[in-house]
Amino acid sequence: MLKIYNTLARQKQEFTPIEAGKVRMYVCGLTVYDYFHIGNARTLTVFDMVYRWLSASGYAVHYVRNITDVDDKIIDRANKNGEPIEALTARMISAMHEDTDRLGMLRPSAEPRATQHIGGMLKLIDRLVDKGMAYPADNGDVYYAVREFPGYGKLSGKSIDDLRAGERIAVNTAKRDPLDFVLWKAAKPHEPFWPSSYGQGRPGWHIECSAMCEAEHGETLDIHGGGWDLQFPHHEGEIAQSEGASGKPFVNYWMHAAFLNMDNEKMSKSLGNVFTTREVLNKLDAVQGGEVVRYFLLRGHYRSEINYTWDTLQDARASLLSLYNALREVPPAELAIDWSSPYAQRFRDAMDDDFNTPMAFAVLHELRGEVNRTRSAELAGLLRALGATVGLLGQDPASFVQGATGTADDAAEIEALIAQRNAAKQARNFAEADRIRDAIKARGIVLEDGAGGTSWRRA
């Protein structure tokens, strides 16, 4: 039985979907004004893993990950670039897909964009206004009346009385209460806008997810995920809006991924330690890099902070290479997972315990040791199949271990040098064999002599 740590309940709970065999899952996606950073990659990769495991467990998952394609950062960046907002967001969405593909992520079932759901947002705002839970202000904005929703703060554990003006909430004289948040922003010069009964304007941040959740899943969904920092105010705002409008529970299981730190410090532009995912990927081998980063992002439990340094990334690379080396040495049999196998059982038990990837990965490495010992193609096949449930070990083992060697001619040249070395050894010309070995080593290639001949990989 799958158990999920529910942020709202503050404990692990057995997962029971609204509809048997089906899962309605929504994850807050990216604001597409720039390349996404490695901290974003952690959250996106975590929920790709959740999507894959739920699917591997037999659920039909409708996985929705939204795209915010209008907000202050997008407007500012487009104005700075001197380009239309649509051109900026189209370019960044394309780049997002390129980088998530490199990380081995499956495309979500749906990727709704905020600008495609303005009508749904306005209908939701109308319902809240009609129920007295929102109000148009004199400045043309529409605000949510936080004190009209008794459950505000239940997700993050914050008390309304602790959120007073002058402490954490900026004073805005147009609001009835300083805690109230904007649902609809009145149009300003040089900003995009849409017509509405409240005047020309654009949506606030929180309302977009409530509207898109309802459009894709209805009034209640099974799982809602995002980064740890979204609990307040974003997810708190979503609950207030959606439950305020429907009177029904909005989400049954809330999941939040913890932060990724940079060299033991929180990522911060002021510290200059924010790296885009693309920058990190481009520093790594073209063949191995995407899966190395994925392995690194998943090997820590999703609710625990992880620390990014070049050394921790290289350690993840070495660990992943050890799995691929086992598959290279023992070609895996193609097989379906036999869940009665002790290894498969322990892997499933780990994943069903709130997606405990550290324990699941430990099982993979135990299985690797057994593959190396027994040379069993069936166990190698099980290793590969279990890895596939979380998006790992899907590449050709020999190609992965060898890595990117430039052109096909480069690989052919290495193979030719190995053949020359083997010929020199057979002729007992060991000095020449050593010279060729050193020349190959100078190209960053490691040779591995075994009973089946000589194989090679990048250092």
Residue 93 lies in a domain: yes
Q: Same domain for 131 and 177?
A: yes
Residue 213: predicted pLDDT? 98
Task: Return the amino acid letter for 163.
Answer: L
Average pLDDT, the chain: 93
| Binding-site positions for ATP | 269
Residue 452 lies in a domain: yes
* CA 388 – CA 61 distance, rounded (Å): 17
Of 177-181, 315-319, 437-441, least confident by mean pLDDT is 437-441
Q: Same domain for 427 and 344?
A: no
Q: Please, are residues 75 and 192 in contact by the beta-carbon 8 Å criterion?
A: yes
Q: How confident is the model at residue 320 (pLDDT cuts 50, 70, 90)?
A: very high
Q: Same domain for 175 and 239?
A: yes
- Which is higher by pLDDT, 285 or 64? 64
Task: Please list, in sequence order, all residues whose beta carbon lies within 8 angstroms of the beta carbon of residue 123, skipping any fewer than 6 positions away.
Answer: 211
Residue 408, pLDDT > 70, answer: no
Q: Same domain for 117 and 177?
A: yes
Residue 433: predicted pLDDT? 81
* CA 131 – CA 242 distance, rounded (Å): 12
* CA 288 – CA 280 distance, rounded (Å): 12
Residue 405, pLDDT > 80, answer: no
| Binding-site positions for Zn(2+) | 28, 209, 234, 238
Residue 267 lies in a domain: no
Q: Same domain for 141 and 200?
A: yes
Residue among 135, 222, 146 nearest 184 (CA): 135
Q: Same domain for 94 and 228?
A: yes
Digit-coded pLDDT (tens) for 206-225: 999 999 999 999 999 999 99
Residue 444: predicted pLDDT? 74
Residue 335: predicted pLDDT? 93
3 state SS for 403-438: CCCCCHHHHHHHHHHHHHHHHHHHCCCHHHHHHHHH
Digit-coded pLDDT (tens) for 30-66: 999 999 999 999 999 999 999 999 999 999 999 999 9
The two three-digit tokens of residue 236, written as one number: 């708190």
Domain span at 187: 3-257
Q: Same domain for 93 and 210?
A: yes
Count of domains in the chain?
3
State whether the Cα torsion 393-396-400-406 is positive or negative.
negative
Residue 277 lies in a domain: no
Q: Same domain for 416 and 380?
A: no
The two three-digit tokens of residue 123, written as one number: 């209908």
Residue 166: predicted pLDDT? 44
Digit-coded pLDDT (tens) for 425-441: 889 888 888 888 888 88
Report the percentage of the chain scoring pLDDT > 70: 95
Residue 458: predicted pLDDT? 66
CATH code for the domain in which residue 379 is found: 1.20.120.640
* CA 235 – CA 257 distance, rounded (Å): 13
Q: Same domain for 224 and 344?
A: no
Residue 141: predicted pLDDT? 97
Domain boundary among 257, 291, 325: 257
Residue 373, pLDDT > 60, answer: yes
Q: Please, are residues 114 and 73 in contact by the beta-carbon 8 Å criterion?
A: no
Average pLDDT on 381-409 reads 87
Residue 417: predicted pLDDT? 84
Residue 165: predicted pLDDT? 45
**What phi and psi values does residue 19 have, to the nearest 5 degrees?**
-120, 125
* CA 31 – CA 114 distance, rounded (Å): 10
Residue 269, pLDDT > 70, answer: no
* CA 15 – CA 58 distance, rounded (Å): 13
Q: How confident is the model at residue 442 (pLDDT cuts 50, 70, 90)?
A: confident
Average pLDDT on 223-242 reads 97
Residue 422: predicted pLDDT? 87
Q: Same domain for 246 and 109?
A: yes
The two three-digit tokens of residue 213, written as one number: 């959740």
| Binding-site positions | 28, 209, 234, 238, 269
Average pLDDT on 359-385 reads 98
Q: Same domain for 159 and 26?
A: yes
* CA 133 – CA 148 distance, rounded (Å): 6
DSSP 270-324: GGT---BHHHHHHTS-TTTHHHHHHHHHHSS-TTS-EEE-HHHHHHHHHHHHHHH
Q: Same domain for 393 and 413?
A: no
